Structure 1
Amino acid sequence: MPSSGSGAPSAAAEAPGSTRGSRLGLVRFVRTGGFRRLLGVRFATQWGDGMFQAALGGAVLFNPERQADPLAVAAGLAVLLLPYSLVGPFAAALIDRWDRRRVLLGASLVRAVLVVVVAAVVLSGGAGLALYLPALAAAGVNRFVLAALSVALPHVVPRQHLVEANTFAVTAGAAVAAVGGASAIGLRELVGTGDAGSGVVTLVGVAGSLTAAVVAAGFRRRQLGPDRTDGRRSTIASVLHGFSDGARATIATPSVAGAFLALGTHRLAFGVSTLLTLLLFRYAFTDAGPLRAGMAGLGEAVVLAAAGLGAAAVVTPWMVRRWGRPRTVRVSLVVATLAQLTLAALLSLPIVMVAAFVLGLTGQVVKLCADAAVQAEVGDEVLGRVFALYDIVFNVGYVLAVACAALLSPPDGAAPWLFGSAAVLYVVGLAGHDLQLRRARRRAAA
């Protein structure tokens, strides 16, 4: 378990080394009950989240009974991603003080209730605040669960294997979420695409939260930490200082700050691309050979993005062992820049499909490296608050980019210059990451 002042990266996270030892370690901890149970909670949660997001997205964007313009799409994405990011630094202080087993169990049950409420609103044809408020709450609670899962990981996996464990857990979880989304798309084809069908699909997603609660109940009390808390503050004071605590811990560690900058610019660029892609599939693209437009085509793009996530699970540990984490991040940002420039120059359905895979791959590599930096170099007593700040970087930047793109995009999403601006954002991230690495080297030399 890293201490708050260690600042030392794990060997697996930072330096090239023996691949055989790492692979044997991966096999050993996958066999441990604690890690498998944590994976079970993650998979159930993210499958349900994939169902929920796809069902709500279908209700807002691809529902023939409702009309969707760019701003409506941006509002729907904000509902799914903003809630926990706004309260996370304060709520995460509780993750650093409460038994995380109870957090996973209780939050999963609360989310199940909220999903049922959202399903009832969709079934009744509700819109506006009646739909968005419970959806905001459900998405926020889900982010709370995912933050607790990330913070709990070092309690079931040896520190030297955090890169492999995190790569497997996060990437497989994202793939399961994509499966949940694909399941929702397929179920909509069976039950209908109107309000009634969307409501039924949303309701089915509650199975994920209920399963996660059952699996989480199998952990022992305090098995997932926290091992210690900041006894100098009351719980209320810790909650109120959540944001500043996470920010200070991040700034104090240049490698973590650099990873945040790289991830933040990726999410800005990815937000622009997401909004434009949704609009293109909804209004601009027509079927091209085996490739389809509309909700079915979007499902194909999701599958390709999921394949990119799976590829990241394979290549990230190899890249980190061979090049180290900083160079791995830089290479990924360069490849993502080239993908965005290709979209700007050759905007078509096949190119968008290829870019979905490439951006899924490179973005996941950057995220996995950022995860490893936080888990290996931040102390357990503040880890939840740093991950809450991480969530802000991950989601608030994304939603802001979606909102800006919605204001600037034509209704059909055909805006090559916006794809080009996403490439510029990646270059900015590369420069910011490099500045933080220089700060780390100056600190080490002092």
Structure 2
Amino acid sequence: MLAFAGFRRLLLSRFAAQWGDGLFQAGLAGAVLFNPEREADPLAIAAGFAALLLPYSVVGPFAGALLDRWDRRRVLVTANLLRGVMILVTAVSVIAGASGTVLFTLALVVVGISRFVGSGLSASLPHVVPVRNLVEANAIATTLGAVIAVLGAGCAVGIRALLGDDDTGSGLTTCVAVIGSAVAAFVVVRFAPGALGPDEVDEPAQTLVAVARGLFDGGRVAVHTPTVLAGFVALLAHRAVFGVLLLMTVLLMRFEFASGLAGLGQVAGLFGLGVLAAGLTTARIVAGVGRRRTMGAAMVVGAVAILALGLPMAMWSTLAAAFVVSFVGQVVKLCVDAAVQRDIGDESRGRVFALYDTLFNVAQVASLALAALVVADDGRSPGLVVAAAVVYLVGLGGFALASRGHH
């Protein structure tokens, strides 16, 4: 895959952007959730994650419509530069001791801009590799990109340990993320104008009308594509489960295990290994047993792992669960990404990816919010673990129903 010069360039831009995303989000999480100068209860933690996730939902429809209308190269360059500026503003606000509301608002802006970058990179991939290689290319880009984001988060933990865990140290740590945005913009600007699509524009003449119709159009196309619809059902269940487990893990690390951001860093490391393992094996598994069976088996493994590793609520089992759940989620995501890229036309692909982001992050935020209302203050909530496993199984049933007759 690295023989394709355009793919190498797009991959480097993705790596730089996702490294910066990982560092920014971990730095901000440290500033809000693990800062001795600030207190955080389950609802505050849920609010923080909502600030990091909601932009995927709010900005998604706009990103999709505009990516199918505007030169994606120009969008990627502009979004990366603007994100860099807003990262600096956020870092200064952290150092100045800004309130949680201010930081959450700035996080909404930064991560919202990132949606143009993420959706643009995904929609551009078919322009730099042959269609027959999309599964492999997507596995490499998505998997290694997620690992790079985890490395960025690890860098934030290390830098924060050097600079301090107070507001000043957290702000300076967050500031470093601007490097990722700058490098990502520099790499993408080397593409020729129009090289990343869209090849055709199938939208109303008025931009605002196109934006308003983004979600509807993406949904209509997805619903009429059975492989994509079935994948959406499976991934929706996974993201709902992930939201619950994410909140419980943060609470356990802070209060039950008293391991703080370092413990969360270990979880992120195991999460990254699970993502990497999925990237190395998914294409071969799909080639051997088919995409439908691969996704179904992954969800069964996820449900069993949540019960077996989630209920003990020990440090070792939490780390093991992070690995398995990340592996399962990435297997499902790679299959869904490939379905969208292979079965959706280029004129609609950006809108479908935008819908993708919107649905799944709404599910994750909603599950986080609901879990925050009932979770124990220290994270020990066996009932939520069982509920998460049930959601996986319900999702498996929906996936099986929607994918009948398609492999």
Confirm whether residue 346 of structure 1 aligns to residue 312 of structure 2: yes
Say whether the 8 Å CA contact 1:245–1:385 is kept in structure 2: yes
The corresponding residue for 1:376 is 342
- Is contact 1:343-1:419 (8 Å) kept? no
Q: Distance in 2 between matches of 1:131 and 1:299?
A: 22
Q: Is the 8 A contact 1:276 1:414 kept in 2?
A: yes
1:172-202 CA deviation, whole Å, 9 max, x = no partner?
0000000000000011100000100000001
2:278 aligned partner = 312
Counterpart position of 1:47: 19
* 1:251 paired to 2:223: yes
Per the TM alignment, residue 394 of structure 1 is displaced from its structure 2 partner at its CA by 2.4
2:76 matched residue in structure 1: 104
Deviation at 1:131, TM superposition (A): 1.7
Q: Which residue of 2 aligns with 1:396?
A: 362
The match for 1:296 is 262
2:334 paired with 1:362: no
1:414 aligns with 2:375: no
Which of 401-410 and 430-439 deviates more? 430-439
Tell me the equivalent position of 2:98.
126
Q: What's the CA shift string for 1:137-191, capped at 9, x where partnerless?
A: 0010012100000000000011111110000100000000000000000111000
State the match for 1:80 in structure 2: 52
- Show the counterpart of 1:92: 64
Contact 1:265 1:429 in 2 (8 A): yes
- Which residue of the partner structure matches residue 285 of structure 1? 257
8 Å Cα contact 1:164/1:317 also seen in 2: yes
After the TM superposition, which of the residue ranges 293-302 and 427-436 deviates more from structure 2?
Answer: 293-302
Gap change, CA 1:391 and 1:231, over 3 Å in 2: closer
1:323 counterpart = 2:289: yes
Q: Is the 8 A contact 2:9 2:187 kept in 1?
A: yes
Secondary structure of 2:117 counterpart:
helix
1:128 CA drift (Å) = 3.2
Question: Aligned match of 1:215 in 184, 187, 205?
Answer: 187
SS at match of 1:68: coil
Report the structure number with the largest CA radius of gyration.
1
Aligned partners of 2:79 and 2:117 also within 8 Å: yes
CA contact 1:227–1:380 (8 Å) conserved in 2: yes
Could you tell me whether the CA contact under 8 Å between 1:178 and 1:302 is conserved in 2?
yes
C-alpha separation between the residues in 1 aligned to 2:196 and 2:303?
Answer: 39
CA separation in 2, counterparts of 1:380 and 1:106?
22
Contact 1:89 1:388 in 2 (8 A): yes
Note if 1:113 corresponds to 2:113: no
2:129 alignment partner, SS class: coil
| TM-score with structure 2 setting the length | 0.98
The alignment partner of 1:438 has SS state of: coil
Q: Which amino acid aligns with 2:364?
A: Y
Overall identity of the aligned pairs, in %: 51
State the partner residue of 1:425.
391
The match for 1:238 among 187, 190, 210 is 210
| Greater Cα offset, 29-38 or 227-236 | 227-236
> Aligned equivalents of 1:87 and 1:304: distance in 2?
30
1:232 is displaced (CA, Å) by 5.1
Letter in 2 for 1:338: V
- Cα distance between partner residues in 1 of 2:204 and 2:93: 45
Counterparts of 1:105 and 1:338, CA distance in 2: 43
Equivalents in 2 of 1:392, 1:419: separation in Å? 25
- CA apart distance, 1:129: 3.1
Partners of 2:150 and 2:85 lie apart in 1 by: 23
Deviations 1:355-401 (A, max 9, x none): 11101111100000010010000011011110001001221111111
The CA RMSD measured in Å over matched residues stands at 1.2
Unaligned runs of 5+ in 1: 1-28, 287-292, 442-446
CA contact (8 A) 1:90 1:241 kept: no
Aligned residues: 407
Pick the aligned partner of 2:130 from 144, 152, 158: 158
Look up the equivalent residue of 2:228 and give its one-letter code. Answer: V
Question: Which piece of structure 1 moves more, 367-376 or 228-237?
Answer: 228-237
Equivalent position SS for 2:255: helix
* Cα distance in 1, alignment partners of residues 137 and 180 from structure 2: 22
Alpha-carbon displacement from aligned partner over 1:327-369 (angstroms, at most 9, x marks no partner): 1100110000011111343221110011111011111000000
TM-score by length of 1: 0.90
Aligned pair 1:169/2:127, yes or no?
A: no
Q: Contact between 2:56 and 2:361, CA under 8 Å: does it hold in 1?
A: no
Q: Which residue of 2 aligns with 1:25?
A: none
CA contact 1:101–1:219 (8 Å) conserved in 2: yes
Deviations 1:74-109 (A, max 9, x none): 111111111131231133111001000001000000
The 8 Å contact of residues 343 and 416 in structure 1, kept in 2 or not, is answered as: no
Measure the CA separation in 1 of the matches of 2:117 and 2:374: 34
> Shift of residue 127 of structure 1?
1.1
Partner letter of residue 398 of structure 2? Answer: G
The amino acid across from 1:405 in the alignment is A
Say whether 1:264 aligns with 2:236: yes
For structure 2, list consecutive stretches of 5 or more residues without a partner in the other structure.
none
Q: Closer, same or farther in 2 for the Cα pair 1:428/1:231, shift >3 Å?
A: closer
